[in-house]
Amino acid sequence: MKRAIIIGFVVIATSCTTRNDVDVNDYPIVTTISDLAEYYDLNIDTSGAYETTFIINYLDGSSELEYSYDLLESEDFDPLYYSILIEKENTTKDAKQIYTLGKAAVELVGNSFDQGTVDIDSLQLPGDDSYYALRTFEGEPNGMFFIVRKGTRIYTMMVSGLYTPDNSLINELLIPRITDLEKFEIIE
C-alpha cells in the first residue's frame, strides 16, 4: 500500500511541468494589460509586479499558456483582474470537453456571490464554439467573459473591473489576435 501511494505521488508530481520564465511578448495572441490600459486609458500598475505568465506542459502532450493581471485592492490604480488562458489539447473531443467545462464553470461560479452573467449573442464570434457574456456584480456590469474553441485550441478571457458596452474589447482587441487560434503553439 505504501509503495502504491509513493508511486501515485510520483506520477502526479511528474505529470506536468511548469515554466515561469515566459515572456508574454513572445505570444502576440495575448492582449496584455498594457494593451488594455492604452486603449481604454486605464490607470494600471505597469511595474509588472501584478502580472504573471506561465506555461504548463502536461504528460499527455497538452499544454496551456496563462497570462494574468491581478490588482483588485488599490488606492492608487484602477482595481482590475484580467486573465487570458490558451489551451492546446490533443484531440477535438478533449478541446470540446474543456470548452464545455469552462463555460459551465463561469455559469456556476459566475451566478453566485452576488455575481451574474448575461449572455451576449448579438455578435458574430469566431471559432467552432464560442461564448461571450457580461459579468455583473450586485446587478451592475462589472466585467466580461469570452471563450472560443477552434479545433483543438481553447482561448479564454475573463476581466473584472472593466466593462465596455460597445464590445470593443472583444471586437477590436481580442478577435483580431485570435484569427489563427487553431495554429497556436507553445514556444519551447
Cα 104 from chain centre: 15
CA–CA dist 69, 84 (Å, integer):
9
What is the model's pLDDT at position 19?
Answer: 92
Question: Over the stretch 122-150, which tens digit does the pLDDT of each residue have?
Answer: 888 999 999 999 988 888 899 999 999 99
| pLDDT at 7 exceeding the cut of 80 | no
Question: Over the stretch 74-108, which tens digit does the pLDDT of each residue have?
Answer: 889 999 999 999 999 999 999 999 999 998 887 77
Residue with cell 474553441: 149
What is the model's pLDDT at position 82?
Answer: 96
CA–CA dist 45, 29 (Å, integer):
22
What value does the mean pLDDT of the chain take? 89
Report the pLDDT averaged over residues 15-30. Answer: 92
What is the model's pLDDT at position 9?
Answer: 47
The answer to whether 64 and 98 have CB atoms below 8 angstroms apart is: no
How is the chain split into domains, by residue range? 18-183
Question: Over the stretch 168-178, which tens digit does the pLDDT of each residue have?
Answer: 999 999 999 99
The answer to whether 150 and 128 have CB atoms below 8 angstroms apart is: yes
| pLDDT at 14 exceeding the cut of 70 | no
Query: At residue 49, what are phi and psi to the nearest 5 degrees?
Result: -65, -25
CA–CA dist 130, 16 (Å, integer):
28
Confidence of residue 112 (pLDDT cuts 50, 70, 90): low
What is the model's pLDDT at position 110?
Answer: 62
| pLDDT at 2 exceeding the cut of 70 | no
| pLDDT at 10 exceeding the cut of 50 | no
Between 13 and 73, residue with greater pLDDT: 73
Confidence of residue 38 (pLDDT cuts 50, 70, 90): very high
What is the model's pLDDT at position 50?
Answer: 96
> How many Cβ atoms from other residues are within 10 Å of residue 15's Cβ?
10
What is the model's pLDDT at position 122?
Answer: 87
pTM confidence score: 0.89
Q: CATH number for 18-183: choose from 3.30.70, 3.40.1000, 3.40.210, 1.10.8.
A: 3.40.1000
Residue with cell 459579468: 135
